[in-house]
Structure 1
Amino acid sequence: MNKDIFKNHIAFYHHYGPYEFLIWKSKDYELKDRIDYVFNRMTSTLSISGDLGSAVLSWNTTGNTLDNIVDYSKSLSYFVGKMETSDDKYEYDSDALEKELSDYLGLNDEEEYSPSLEDRQEMKQDLIECFDEFTGEYNLDSDLRDKLTDFDPDWWEGIPDGRRISDRAKLWAVGLQQAMAQIKQHENNVRTFADTQLADMYSLICDLSVSADLYKTKTEKAFQAVRALNVAIHDVGDNFERLNEIVEDDQNKGID
């Protein structure tokens, strides 16, 4: 799986009624490696479409949101098990199959048991030759089927098939997780920015409040000074008037 496939992707999210829309696309190309996720909260159904194929996943529960589905996708085998898709959600690896068959047939065991090691090695080669890598099924003839039954009566339950989760299915899960993480980060950034702006506004209001209080204090002191000056002027006027009266009295006494 190419882990860098989404390195230039950006996410867009919209919630309308019971539907959550999550678009995960390249900044440079509109359709290349694009994935559209639509989640219906009422039916708890996730629809996946886009350049990497399509799939539908359903949960027989209510109350799920797309956040819950993101958590579910972290258990990849569980998430893929929910998928209904016309595309391949599994791949069949011939190298993995060869190793699994060796373990299944006990080719590396030191213990001797029937059938013989040589017969089991031959059985392994026959199984590899009749295995279909596209369907993950064995096209067994009756002779090989009988040999398997002698070795393991319940062989159809445990015979390996080299099955692996496909890169396509992995990318659907990884894309969902990365897209929602980007949306959450954006929401956190917006929230942090808003908190910062509110803090700055509060600080400004506090500064204005302090300035207003300072202005009020200085204004009150100015009024007090003016009132004191008025009192002083009034006192001077009274004293001056009294002085005139004394002078007039002295003059009148001199005339007499």
Structure 2
Amino acid sequence: MSVPSPSSVLSLDLNDDPSTTLEAATWALAAAAGDHGEPGGWADQDDEVLRNQGRASAGTGRAIAGKVVPALPGLAERLDGQGSRILDIGTGIAALALALAEAFPRAGVVGIDVMERVLELARKELADAGTEAAGRVTLRHADVVDVAEQAAYDMVWLPAPFLAEAALTQALPRLIEALKPGAWIVVGTNPAAPDLLRQAVAGWHAIRNGGNAYDADRMTKTLTAYGLRDERRFPTVPGGPVLVAARRI
């Protein structure tokens, strides 16, 4: 297993923005509850719940833009280039996508989601925003396993806990192919359990509830196995999600 050096483990303090702390808590609870669009999950929530949960993700977008991107060599410069592109997986109401578009005024952001209903909410959110940044967000009704673009994006954001095991395993090589040479994927993961037994129990529980067993350790190992390099980790709140980043060579 590839274990990052101390210099590549960077703390991502979300406590300076209440919305990012809420996002971390929502994310962890959703992953534990198997809230992956199955009955009783996202698909059964009313519109206001979807809006409120989605808006919380704007804080995560700002944290990625302000703390993760500057720490990844060359990424800020790439996203400052005219025509740069970001892919937002599971965009929801596009709050995170809009936050990234606002942070990188030369970048276009593509947000994909499998729920047409939530994309309708996203279109309204973007229309209500009425900003230049909102005009650079493109929404697509698509499944992550169907991403087929080659060398198209400077950054891909993937909130891994929300995907089923089979879908995530199938999607990862496609998303890596979608990166331009030198581009970065940033993956939200659950933290690794402290011992093998707890890791096994956590993985079983996640898969049973519609998620996956890719914790931060497994995700790092998988990305490097696909040939990505310069892996970095960004812990958030104690016991909360860990963002894993790696670059396509």
Per the shorter chain, which TM-score range?
Answer: under 0.3
Q: What is the TM-score of this pair, normalised by structure 2?
A: 0.23
Larger radius of gyration: 1
Q: What is the TM-score of this pair, normalised by structure 1?
A: 0.22
Whose helix proportion is higher, 1 or 2?
1
